[in-house]
Amino acid sequence: MTNKSVIFFDIDGTLLNHDKKMPESTKKAIFKLKELGHEVAIATGRAPFMFKDIRDELDIHTYVSYNGQYVVLDGEVIYQNPLKLNPLEKLTEEALQNNHPVVYMDHEDMKANVPEHEYITESISTLKIKFFPTHDPHYYKSRDIFQSLLFCKEGEEHQYEQAYPDFDFIRWHPVSVDILPKGGSKAKGIEKICKQLGYPEEHQYAFGDGLNDIEMLSTVKNSVAMGNAEEVVKQAAKYVTKSVEDEGILHGLKMVGLLK
């Protein structure tokens, strides 16, 4: 175990470029890591159903999804941390009054509390996925919801941050914010996996580029920020590699000594 490592990769802006395409050098690097006996995993804010195609393409069966709220090790769910129902219901009522739509997401699907809204269309379409939320305002009442999306302009989320201390709000798009359980993060999900696999911290690696990667990058010992990341994200990481467009994954893996 001591000469093998576990490497966690974010998806958007890390494995995938701005056009949601995976550079060929990235794919080859992932398979080379696996060939060398390393454990390769994904750590993303996406729902499991939003990146099954990527898992299949890369033959990856271990992942942290929903920013740490739904964690799977070798195909088995090992950790779940859903949103609290009562505050989610109250937030939904307030958001509806403010014309701020909400989308509810479990491990299988996502549903919106309004039939349609331009903010939902605008933000979800940037993910370039084949899934789109359909209308079911009561979806959250009968199942565990691991993440919600609040659709509002930048700054408008502050009123909710103060009113709902059970949740963390992380912006991922100019008109959309992730709603997560308070204190939930990719770092917590990674901790669950590493504890079960037994990898010491010096053999843990993480690559990311977004605001939701900051805790992961500041917690994992060998962390690498992409060159396309914002400055605040780069400051959280131990290393900074090139942009995803410029073979950043391959360059970063060579930088930290995992590939030659």
Residue 4: pLDDT above 50? yes
Where in the chain is CATH 3.40.50.1000?
Answer: 6-80+184-255
Dihedral sign (CA 177, 181, 183, 188):
negative
Catalytic, out of 10, 168, 178, 209 = 10
DSSP readout, 147-167? EEEE---TTTTHHHHHH-TTE
Give the model confidence (pLDDT) of 99-124 as tens digits: 999 999 999 999 999 999 999 999 99
Per-residue confidence (pLDDT) for residue 128, from 0 to 100 = 82
* 181-192 mean pLDDT: 95
CATH code for the domain defined by 85-181: 3.30.1240.10
Residues 19-43: pLDDT tens digits? 999 999 999 999 999 999 999 999 9
Q: What is the pLDDT of residues 118-167, one digit of tens each?
A: 999 999 998 888 889 999 999 999 899 999 999 999 999 999 999 999 99
Residue 94's pLDDT is 98
Strand runs (DSSP E) across the chain, as ranges? 6-9, 39-43, 63-65, 70-73, 76-80, 102-105, 110-112, 134-135, 147-150, 167-173, 176-181, 204-208, 222-225, 239-240
Average pLDDT of the chain? 96
Residue 42 is predicted with a pLDDT of 98
State pTM to two decimals.
0.90
Average pLDDT for residues 54-76, to the nearest whole number?
Answer: 97
| pLDDT score, position 194 | 97
Residue 235 pLDDT level (bands cut at 50, 70, 90): very high
Which pair of tokens denotes residue 216?
């992961």
Q: What are phi and psi of 150, to 5 degrees?
A: -110, 130
Q: Report the CATH superfamily, name and number, of domain 6-80+184-255.
A: HAD superfamily/HAD-like (3.40.50.1000)
Catalytic: 166? no
Instruction: Tell me what pLDDT residue 2 has.
Output: 59
**Which residue type occupies 126?**
T
Residue ranges matching CATH 3.30.1240.10 in the chain: 85-181
pLDDT category at 1 given cuts 50, 70, 90 is: very low
Q: What are phi and psi of 111, to 5 degrees?
A: -135, 145
